[in-house]
């Protein structure tokens, strides 16, 4: 192994790659601009859609209730509901999203309430439809209030205290630090994005430096040089790794800067306060980035390093086998699904790290990143995952060198 030769090959490949638009897109443009734009843009749009849906007064129908005029009148006076005249095809109208919900007031409801017991009120809705959901919430709140008023009135009639049915209050308060809340919210999605970007960042340089070179006829030119093949592989591999790491680091930096910028905007008062309130309302919809523990992020970067080496070496090896760029794409592109699956599983709630899962590539990274971003540091698992990732990376790199030395791969006709 000759470091000077490896560095010479690396520098040439870096120059060559920086002049290749496809590689630049996957290495620099997408991670720097597209991912944060997607994260914040989609979050902003989602928050906007939710807020707009909330602002709409949902149209509802009252089915029955002719003998309960008081309840029907109270419903009509509720400013958060728009009671429209009842139609015979009210079920169809809900399905067609013309009305958001309907409430069935049973016969003799008011009389039954006065007598002590009434039949059930039924709310009809469109399951899974956002605006129908808001209408149901309002209707449920209306009837919950009605129930509480009835209970209060009955207690008053019997001269009993309100505490009889409500002996204590229940409150909820968050004690976790903002970065832990942030880590918990984003713990799943951040590693997911990093894993995908690490892969796509390596993808185009790897294909260009292997199958691309074969297709363009420069591979044979390069093999004529007196440099040992292992040096050629390592120089090229370092370039692929640069692509992978630059995609990861640029995306983390740009997401971090965006989060800081968003945080600054939300905390600087005035017009920004309004924005913060809107963001707060939107909750986890993504328009406001909660704080992320910087040590957690550093931990993520450290854990991603061997996985990035692993990705780079695997894509390099697979692409090397192909005769053309197109063929390489057809081999490498489906690999994204193999990467996404464990990354998605890692995002699922309820799946926690254990010794067995710590050995499953990608999934282990996803799980440990989630923990580290939430401020949980299981050092034994971290060591196991880092160690196993290094072993996988070493195996993949050895395989890449072996493949590069195979005549039937390099001169595959």
Partner 1 sequence: MIEAQNLTKTFKDKKRGVITAVDDVSFTCRPGQIYGLLGANGAGKTTTLRLLATLLKPSRGHATVAGCDVEREPEKVRAHVGFLAASTALYGRLTAREMITYFGRLNGMTDPAIKARIQHLATELDMAEFLDRRCDKFSTGMKQKTSIARTLVHDPAVMIFDEPTLGLDVMTARAIVGFVRDCRNRGKTVIYSTHIMSEVEKLCDQVGIIHGGRLVAEGTLPELRARFGEQDMEEVFVKAVGGEAALAAALKN
d(CA 24, CA 28): 5
Is beta strand 59-64 parallel, antiparallel or unpaired with respect to 122-124? unpaired
Least distance in Å: CB of 261 to partner 1?
36
- Please give the torsion angle defined by the CA atoms of residues 70, 71, 73 and 77, in that order, rounded to the nearest 10 degrees: 130
Contact 254, 33 (CB under 8 A): yes
- Concatenating the DSSP letter of every residue in 73-131 gives HHHHH-TT-EEE---TTHHHHHHTTSSSEEEEEPTTHHHHHHHT--PPPEEE--TT-HH
Q: What residues pair up with 124 in beta bridges, in sequence order?
A: 102
Q: Which of residues 223-242 bind partner 1 (CB under 8 A)?
A: 223-228
Out of 127, 157, 173, 408, the residue judged to bind partner 1 by CB under 8 A: 408
d(CA 347, CA 204): 26
Out of 15, 141, 147, 402, the residue judged to bind partner 1 by CB under 8 A: 15
Helices 271-282 and 35-55: angle between axes, nearest 10 degrees: 80
Q: Which of residues 191-220 bind partner 1 (CB under 8 A)?
A: 216-218, 220
Least distance in Å: CB of 315 to partner 1?
21
Out of 264, 295, 377, 411, the residue judged to bind partner 1 by CB under 8 A: 411
Nearer to partner 1 (CB atom), residue 74 or residue 228 = 228
Q: Can residue 86 be called a binding residue for partner 1 (CB under 8 A)?
A: no
Tokens (6 digits) for 402: 């072996």
Nearer to partner 1 (CB atom), residue 88 or residue 413 = 413
Least distance in Å: CB of 212 to partner 1?
10
Q: Interface with partner 1 by CB under 8 A: which range of 3-11, 81-89, 92-100, 343-351?
A: 3-11
Least distance in Å: CB of 174 to partner 1?
54
Site string for partner 1, 314-333 (x = CB under 8 A): --------------------
Q: Which of residues 139-168 bind partner 1 (CB under 8 A)?
A: none
Least distance in Å: CB of 412 to partner 1?
11
Contact 330, 178 (CB under 8 A): no
Nearer to partner 1 (CB atom), residue 169 or residue 408 = 408
d(CA 356, CA 373): 21
d(CA 164, CA 218): 87
Least distance in Å: CB of 199 to partner 1?
24
Nearer to partner 1 (CB atom), residue 217 or residue 270 = 217
Question: For binding to partner 1 (CB under 8 A), which residues are involved?
Answer: 5, 8-9, 12, 15-16, 19-20, 216-218, 220-221, 223-228, 407-408, 411
């Amino acid at each position: 192994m000759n470091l000077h030769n490896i560095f010479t090959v690396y520098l040439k490949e870096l120059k060559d790659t920086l002049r290749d638009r496809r590689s630049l897109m996957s290495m620099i443009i997408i991670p720097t601009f597209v991912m944060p734009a997607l994260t914040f843009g989609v979050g902003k749009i989602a928050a906007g859609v939710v807020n707009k849906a909330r602002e709409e007064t949902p149209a509802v129908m009252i089915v029955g209730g002719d003998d309960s005029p008081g309840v029907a009148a109270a419903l009509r006076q509720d400013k958060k509901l728009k009671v429209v005249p009842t139609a015979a095809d009210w079920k169809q109208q809900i399905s067609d999203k013309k009305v958001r919900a309907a409430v069935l007031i049973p016969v003799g409801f008011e009389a039954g309430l006065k007598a002590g017991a009434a039949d059930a009120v039924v709310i009809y809705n469109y399951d899974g439809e956002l605006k129908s959901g808001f209408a149901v919430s309002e209707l449920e709140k209306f009837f919950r209030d009605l129930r509480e008023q009835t209970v209060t009135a009955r207690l008053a009639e019997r001269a009993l205290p309100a505490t009889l049915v409500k002996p204590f209050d229940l409150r909820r308060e968050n004690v976790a630090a903002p970065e832990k809340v942030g880590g918990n919210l984003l713990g799943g999605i951040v590693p997911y994005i990093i894993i995908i970007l690490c892969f796509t960042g390596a993808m185009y340089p790897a294909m260009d430096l292997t199958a691309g070179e074969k297709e363009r006829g420069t591979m044979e030119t390069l093999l004529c040089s007196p440099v040992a093949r292992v040096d050629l592989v390592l120089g090229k591999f370092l370039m692929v790794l640069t692509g992978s790491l630059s995609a990861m680091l640029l995306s983390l930096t740009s997401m971090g800067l965006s989060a800081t910028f968003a945080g600054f905007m939300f905390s600087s008062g005035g017009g920004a306060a309004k924005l913060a309130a809107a963001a707060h309302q939107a909750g986890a919809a993504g328009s406001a980035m909660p704080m992320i523990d910087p040590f957690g992020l550093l931990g993520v970067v450290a854990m991603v390093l061997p996985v990035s080496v692993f990705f780079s070496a695997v894509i390099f090896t697979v692409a090397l086998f192909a005769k053309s760029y197109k063929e390489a794409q057809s081999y490498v592109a489906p690999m994204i699904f193999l990467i996404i699956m464990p990354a998605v599983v890692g995002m699922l709630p309820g799946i926690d790290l254990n010794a067995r899962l710590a050995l499953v590539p990608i999934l282990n990274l996803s799980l440990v990143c989630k923990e580290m971003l939430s401020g949980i540091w299981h050092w034994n698992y971290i060591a196991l995952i880092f160690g196993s990732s290094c072993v996988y990376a070493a195996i993949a790199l050895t395989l890449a060198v072996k493949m590069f030395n195979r005549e039937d791969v390099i001169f595959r006709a």
